[in-house]
Structure 1
Amino acid sequence: MTDLIDPTDSVEQQNAKLVQITEALMRKVEQQNDQPGLAYAQFERAAMLEAQVRQRTNDLERTLELLHETNARLGIANRAAEAARSNLAEAVESINEGFALFDQHDRLVMSNSRFCRDLLDVAENIEPGLSFHHYVQLVSQSIYLALPDDESQAQWREKRMLRHRDKRVIFNVRLTRDRWLQVGEHRTASGGTVILQTDVSDIMRAEREKRDRLMDRQAQMVRATLDHLNQGVCIFGTDLRLVGWNAGMEALLDRPIDGGLVGIDFAALLRRLDDQIAFSEYFGSDHLLAWANRTRRPRQPITFEVTRGRNQTLSVFAQEMPDKGFVISFTDVTPEREAARALREMNETLERRVHARTMELNEALEEAKRANASKTRFVAAASHDLLQPLSAAKLFVSFLSERSQDALGQDTADKAISALASVENIIEALLDISKLDSGQATMQMQDVSLNEILTSLSSELTPLAQSEGLVLQVMPSSQIVRSDPVFLRRILQNLVTNAIRYTDRGRVLVGVRRDGGQARVEVWDTGPGIAPEDQTTIFQEFKQLGPYMSGSKGLGLGLTIVERACASLGHDLALHSVPGRGSCFSVTAERIAIARQDPPARRPATREARPATSNLVVLLVENDEELSQALTLMIEDWGSHVVHAANGEAALALLDEIDIAPDRVLLDYQLGDGMTGLELLGRLRAEHGTVPTRIITASRRPDIAELCAAAGVDLISKPIHRDSLIGLIDQDCAASAA
């Protein structure tokens, strides 16, 4: 049945065909009377077919209604879309900026008439479907695009494509005829790109005019500032050409700088000023030119002086500017230099007057020094004039002690020697306190063996303790501390000596205790003890307690020296005392951790009262007559011969005259003829080789000891000890024994 009906026919045509088919089937049924059952079956099928046709007809009618309704809605939608497209086009066209929309494939979808309107050769090629890359290429090749001198079309395209990668970017594009476009590029949600082009030429011109006016005002302010400076200023550009100056520069040169100098090369300007400005021998024009031509690295600021004419001095300061140009300023410092010159001349005049009156003021100076008791005693006791006769007196008395035949003379000589030793101790104390007060004491910190110091003190002070009826017990120690060996020995010597002096009976004990990383040296005595209220007083200068205030036991400087030396060394000083039972002074120093070693056994002193060597030729160079006589008397009494000279030149002449090489040499450091003992020793070594030598001096200057150590010669401080002379005479013997 479906083959008899064309679906493309209308419903009316299909219904008509179905009616014809039904009538045909009815006629056929009526004609076949011989088969009644068959006719009824055909009728029945026809009735069913009619029902199906009726149902299909209804369905087709409903479908037709739906189609009419859909077509009506589609028409409405098409009209709305067309209206929206028209509105969008009108809205885009109404925008004052150029507008373009590219899809996610960077193809142009739409644009308005203002897009690329200022690029006439590009606007004619703007059509939908244009690729973004082609659009950028067209813009880069436009004759209306004003590229910088140092940028090519290819470089501009590369930079523009790099900006296209960002989601949002805004930049300015310069066009010909002083026009500017601001281009804004924004990414859409679907991955497309919107470009807005805004003409900002008026804004850019206004900004430029504003900037120019501001720069003009700034330039006027800078010019006014420069003209009000006291200095002359020249400004040079990066090409080393003059670009500006101020009125101060013209005033310094006493002539106007005409406009023809603008742009002059720096080297040419230097040549033109050569007849007016003179450089110093230490900084010349070539140095300044080399500084100006330096371009690889930043120029460092420089300052130097030049002279103009005979009387004018200019201070020049040159400094690099941020743009690699530089500025040079000239300051007239003639008044300052004249004042400095006058001050120097005044100082020289004052120095001459002071020098001329030095001798007249010596007495007044000594009187002023005596206003301070400790400094007065130091100056009086430590002066060169006191040490010289003290040395001579000790040697003379020592000689008398040896030559005396009766007990009274021997006893008297021994007492004189003891008195002189006391004077020597006082001098040493005053020298120590003076050095510590003035800060001239030099601390040579090193590793110091306590046992060496304690063993030496035990040998030295045991006779003193025995003479006082005391027992001095020094415990050996293997500790090494960080200290100055000279001052540490002086500290411990003063503590032990004080303990012996102020203890009436009993004993003095010296020992070392370990306290963590430190070693504490303790000096115990069985003396009267010190009351708590007096334990601070005893460390003051010239302070003594009880029956010893008269000075019978010294001047009271020992503990003062100990306190100040400990402070300089950084050692802790402590006192523990119980009145009636005794005292304990302790000094704590940093301990050096080393392997424990047994302290060396004590060896008794083996030095004899007289030297073992005799019949030597001893050269003595000493300008003090009394000291030289005492030394000569002592040495000749020992069986040797003394060749004496008062100064270096006389000594050299005497040795040349007698043609004898000395076996021993004893030289004063200060010879009085402009030659030092070390200088004389150098000339003696050059002529006679190395000879056992000692340098003697009353000075305590540390540099003299350093110079002697560098020269490899021992130094003897005045007053001279007898043992020092014996050491010189027996030097070869001692070396052989060793």
Structure 2
Amino acid sequence: MSIVNPADSLERQNEKLIKITESLMRRVEYGTAQSGAAYAQFERAALLEKRVRERTLELERTLDLLHESNAQLGRANRETEAARRNLADAIETVSEGFALFDPEDNLVMFNSRFCRDFRDMAQALRPGLPFEDYVDQISQSADLVLPEGDGPEAWLNKRIRRHKDRHVMFNVQLSHDRWLQVSEHRTGDGGTVVLQTDVTDIIRLERQEHRRLRDKQARMIRATLDHLNQGVCIFDENAQLVGWNQKLGALLSLPARRLHIGASFSGILSQFDAGIEFTRGIDRDGFRAWAQDDGPRQPISFEVRRGDAMTLHIFGRAMPDRGFVISCTDVTAEREAAQKLYEMNEILEQRVMERTLELEDALSAAERANASKSRFVAAASHDLLQPLSAAKLFISSLADRSAERPGDVKVLTKAESALNSAEQIIDALLNISKLESDGLSFDIRPVALSEILRPLRDEMEMVAAAKGLDLRIVDCSLSVETDPAYLRRVVQNLLANAVRYTETGRVLVGVRRRGMSARIEVWDTGPGIAEEDQGTIFEEFKRLDTKASRNDGLGLGLAIVERACARLGHPLGLWSEPGKGSCFMVNVPVAGRAEPMSTTRNRPMRPHGLAQSGLIVLLVENEPQLRRAITILVESWGVNVIEAEDAESALQLLDDLEIRPDALMLDQQLGQGLPGTGLYEVITARMGALPCSIISADRSPGLRDDCERMGLDLLLKPLDRHKLGQFLREAAGTI
């Protein structure tokens, strides 16, 4: 129980406490008995006074804080009210209609200009108005002019959909030809600020400017149309005339009263007199159907003829507004020029045809002449090789008999050397003739370069050593795609030339790998070739008369090299510098695994070893001199020879003698009868397989393939006595 009523005010409580304290103090001072109880009461009174004083101080501090908070709250309220008034004054001063919606799309505040143009909205605007209600009121306002085709509900739905966009701006048409631009902006807390700007003056100015520009463009279009060299007319979507120029009436011969604004296309088309004829493209009905078509129009182009002297080109094209433009151009001069050009072209084509026929005749004559030349060269070579072969065999027979007379042997050796030179010339001419013929075919296959270079080393080492030259051929493991026989001839000719024209120094043959090709290089330290002569050395019978070379070259080796490389597709190159030497280069494509070249058996032949063999040989040769020369040479080796001129006499001779020869030597070209290979088949059919050698000047791959297929030896004219002796030695070994 408290001695002070808590309901009293602080002043009243303090007053009671002071009285209590004074009473207690008097009692202590004037009491007659100082007992312990009185002192205890005094202590409690003192303690109570202390507590009252502390509580009083706390209450005073609390009151001070309360008074300060009330003061701050009052100031904040005054500042907020001032800010609200300032914001209201600020938005009121804005020349545009302003409204603020909170994040829940409820109207917070707006100025007096907001929706001022919508007079029936004055009562509806109030704080807390939902945005959708505001838009609904606008859509039903009598002051809103809705777009064509839209009702209030449709406009309301479009407006609500646009409100969902972050940035919104559009124009609204009002009654009395007024316009508002409405824009929406999002605030940081998700609210919306709506601004309404009166753009009536801007819209009206734009209209005036648009009309001014349209009038200016119309004047410019009119001036442009009048200055065109074409007739032009413009029709609207209803096919009514809206523009034209004076050139149109002049070209189409239309009276001026027929060309006026609003004239129909059909009416103008009907004014075309009978003198206007539709000549190319479409006819009159098709032109009318195109102009009256409701669907999309494709561009049209056609020509009409007016009278006999004027041709007009008509072109029509649709416009975006479904109108169309038609242009009319006078193309009389162009058509006359085209007609003249056509006539001239006909004349030129006739002349070209005549010249072409003449050229074809000349080309045919040249081809026949070339073929005749090739046949002549081949025939002449064959005919020349026949007596050369006989002469060589006769000389060989005399050389065997005159071995003990050195003077005669020397003369015979020179004669044989002269015949060998003639044989080389004929062989070169025959090779050139083959390379120039169209029917030449190559045996292209993979071949190892080592199989080409090693035999050439064996052939040329002695020749180079005789001249004191250092010949070096570097081994190569590459394989290339080529015809091995022709590539060997190419490298052989280049190497022979290098040795022939080099007096001192060295000759080097090597191969460089360049990607997927191998470059065969033949280097020499000869006299070199001047730059102006490097293009002529590949001509037939062309030999440079240099002081560095005193050799009588034939002048056909490089011609064969150039033609063979060209036909094989192997690029041929040359580097040379006078006084230093030359390098000939042939590029050949690299191949995979090489096919082995056919090897020739080079066993030494000793003709005198045939004397005890008793060999009987049937010789069939239609050339008497060559047949006699072969017989004399072979019989000098102790071989018995049965001679015949052709296949028929050979078969008759074998029937009469009733003898089976040990070997056959058959000329391939035996006149009108069977060839050598055919005669061989007949004889072997009667007597069984026999060693046989076909003798021929034909170096074609066809004959070579036939001989390989039939297992026959092929001896080319002029005959080589060593190969002939080798064949006979092998035939003797089979009996």
TM-score range, shorter chain: 0.5 to 0.7
Q: Give the conservation status (yes or no) of the 8 Å contact 2:275–2:306.
A: no
Q: 2:332 aligns with which of 331, 334, 357?
A: 334
Letter in 1 for 2:533: T
414-423 or 345-354, larger mean C-alpha shift: 414-423
Letter in 2 for 1:278: F
Q: 1:537 aligns with which of 516, 533, 538?
A: 533
1:154 Cα deviation from its structure 2 partner: 5.1
Aligned to 1:258: 259
Number of residue pairs aligned between Structure 1 and Structure 2:
578
Letter in 2 for 1:123: A
1:587 Cα deviation from its structure 2 partner: 1.3
Distance change >3 Å, CA 329–CA 85, structure 1 → 2: same
Aligned to 1:391: 375
Distance change >3 Å, CA 106–CA 48, structure 1 → 2: same
Q: Give the conservation status (yes or no) of the 8 Å contact 2:279–2:305.
A: yes
Distance in 2 between residues matched to 1:172 and 1:589, nearest whole Å: 82
Aligned to 1:668: none
Distance change >3 Å, CA 236–CA 537, structure 1 → 2: farther
239-248 or 200-209, larger mean C-alpha shift: 239-248
Aligned to 1:558: 559
Aligned to 2:446: 449
Distance in 1 between residues matched to 2:532 and 2:212, nearest whole Å: 80
What's the TM-score, normalizing by structure 2? 0.54
Distance change >3 Å, CA 91–CA 276, structure 1 → 2: same
Distance change >3 Å, CA 51–CA 598, structure 1 → 2: closer
Residue correspondence of structure 1 range 672-691 to structure 2 within 5 A: none
Q: Give the conservation status (yes or no) of the 8 Å contact 1:397–1:416.
A: no
1:78 Cα deviation from its structure 2 partner: 7.2
Distance change >3 Å, CA 311–CA 561, structure 1 → 2: farther
- Give me the CA root mean square deviation: 7.3
Q: Give the conservation status (yes or no) of the 8 Å contact 1:223–1:246.
A: yes
Distance in 1 between residues matched to 2:442 and 2:321, nearest whole Å: 56
Distance change >3 Å, CA 6–CA 280, structure 1 → 2: same
Aligned to 1:599: 596
Report SS of the residue matched to 1:171. strand
Q: 2:341 aligns with which of 339, 343, 348?
A: 343
Residue correspondence of structure 1 range 298-337 to structure 2 within 5 A: 310=308, 312-314=310-312, 329-337=327-335
Distance change >3 Å, CA 532–CA 357, structure 1 → 2: closer
Residue correspondence of structure 1 range 602-621 to structure 2 within 5 A: 602=599
Report SS of the residue matched to 2:590. strand
Residue correspondence of structure 1 range 217-616 to structure 2 within 5 A: 217-233=216-232, 245-255=244-254, 258-259=259-260, 264=265, 276=276, 278=278, 280=280, 310=308, 312-314=310-312, 329-346=327-344, 348-349=346-347, 384-385=368-369, 387-388=371-372, 391=375, 395=379, 398=382, 449-450=446-447, 479-481=479-481, 493=489, 496-497=492-493, 499-500=495-496, 503-504=499-500, 513=511, 515=513, 517-520=515-518, 522=520, 524=522, 530-532=526-528, 534=530, 537-540=533-536, 542=539, 544-546=543-545, 553-554=554-555, 558=559, 561=562, 565=566, 571=571, 573-575=573-575, 585-592=584-591, 594=592, 596-602=593-599
* Per-residue Cα deviation, 1:406-454 (whole angstroms, up to 9, x for no partner): 969999999999877766666778x69xxxxxxxx9xx99985356999
Q: Give the conservation status (yes or no) of the 8 Å contact 2:565–2:572.
A: no
Letter in 1 for 2:526: I
1:181 Cα deviation from its structure 2 partner: 0.6
Distance in 2 between residues matched to 1:141 and 1:67, nearest whole Å: 55
Distance change >3 Å, CA 322–CA 291, structure 1 → 2: same
Q: Give the conservation status (yes or no) of the 8 Å contact 2:480–2:594.
A: no
1:145 aligns with 2:179: no
Report SS of the residue matched to 2:144. coil
Q: Give the conservation status (yes or no) of the 8 Å contact 2:572–2:586.
A: yes
Aligned to 1:100: 99
* Per-residue Cα deviation, 1:133-166 (whole angstroms, up to 9, x for no partner): 2212222333433333355655544543454455
Report SS of the residue matched to 1:121. helix
Report SS of the residue matched to 1:186. strand
1:51 Cα deviation from its structure 2 partner: 13
Letter in 2 for 1:258: L
Q: Give the conservation status (yes or no) of the 8 Å contact 1:510–1:522.
A: no
Aligned to 2:203: 204
Distance in 2 between residues matched to 1:155 and 1:225, nearest whole Å: 46
Distance change >3 Å, CA 69–CA 344, structure 1 → 2: closer
Distance in 2 between residues matched to 1:534 and 1:571, nearest whole Å: 21
1:188 Cα deviation from its structure 2 partner: 4.0
Aligned to 2:671: 637
Aligned to 1:175: 174
Report SS of the residue matched to 1:539. coil
Q: Give the conservation status (yes or no) of the 8 Å contact 2:105–2:192.
A: yes
Identity %: 36
Distance in 2 between residues matched to 1:396 and 1:559, nearest whole Å: 19
Distance in 1 between residues matched to 2:316 and 2:508, nearest whole Å: 71
1:130 Cα deviation from its structure 2 partner: 0.4
Aligned to 1:706: none
Letter in 1 for 2:141: S
Distance change >3 Å, CA 342–CA 47, structure 1 → 2: closer
Q: Give the conservation status (yes or no) of the 8 Å contact 2:96–2:198.
A: yes
State which structure, 1 or 2, has the greater radius of gyration over its C-alpha atoms: 2
Q: Give the conservation status (yes or no) of the 8 Å contact 1:239–1:325.
A: yes
Q: Give the conservation status (yes or no) of the 8 Å contact 1:400–1:413.
A: no
Distance change >3 Å, CA 597–CA 500, structure 1 → 2: closer
Report SS of the residue matched to 1:198. strand
* Per-residue Cα deviation, 1:622-669 (whole angstroms, up to 9, x for no partner): xxxxxxxxxxxx98923279xxxxxxxxxxxxxxxxxxxxx9xxxxxx
Letter in 1 for 2:480: I
Q: Give the conservation status (yes or no) of the 8 Å contact 2:478–2:590.
A: no
Distance change >3 Å, CA 279–CA 5, structure 1 → 2: farther
Distance in 2 between residues matched to 1:725 and 1:54, nearest whole Å: 146
Distance in 1 between residues matched to 2:62 and 2:263, nearest whole Å: 97
Distance in 2 between residues matched to 1:248 and 1:492, nearest whole Å: 83
Report SS of the residue matched to 2:211. helix
Letter in 2 for 1:135: Y
1:54 Cα deviation from its structure 2 partner: 12
Distance in 2 between residues matched to 1:561 and 1:75, nearest whole Å: 117
Report SS of the residue matched to 2:598. coil
Q: 5+ unaligned residues in a row in structure 1: which ranges?
A: 30-34, 367-378, 433-440, 616-633, 642-662, 664-720
Distance change >3 Å, CA 495–CA 479, structure 1 → 2: closer
Q: Give the conservation status (yes or no) of the 8 Å contact 2:232–2:244.
A: yes
Letter in 2 for 1:160: R
Distance in 2 between residues matched to 1:271 and 1:176, nearest whole Å: 49
Aligned to 1:130: 129
Distance in 2 between residues matched to 1:54 and 1:147, nearest whole Å: 80
Q: 5+ unaligned residues in a row in structure 2: which ranges?
A: 28-32, 395-414, 602-619, 624-644, 649-667, 679-695, 713-735
1:172 Cα deviation from its structure 2 partner: 2.1
Distance in 2 between residues matched to 1:234 and 1:445, nearest whole Å: 74
Report SS of the residue matched to 2:278. strand
Distance in 2 between residues matched to 1:64 and 1:515, nearest whole Å: 110
Q: Give the conservation status (yes or no) of the 8 Å contact 1:102–1:193.
A: yes
Distance in 2 between residues matched to 1:70 and 1:405, nearest whole Å: 144
Distance change >3 Å, CA 231–CA 560, structure 1 → 2: farther
Distance in 1 between residues matched to 2:216 and 2:336, nearest whole Å: 40
Letter in 2 for 1:139: I
Distance change >3 Å, CA 385–CA 292, structure 1 → 2: farther
* Per-residue Cα deviation, 1:69-95 (whole angstroms, up to 9, x for no partner): 999998898788767666655554454
Distance in 2 between residues matched to 1:557 and 1:287, nearest whole Å: 75
Residue correspondence of structure 1 range 621-700 to structure 2 within 5 A: 637-639=671-673
Aligned to 1:373: none
Distance in 1 between residues matched to 2:578 and 2:274, nearest whole Å: 88
Aligned to 1:214: 213
Letter in 1 for 2:372: Q
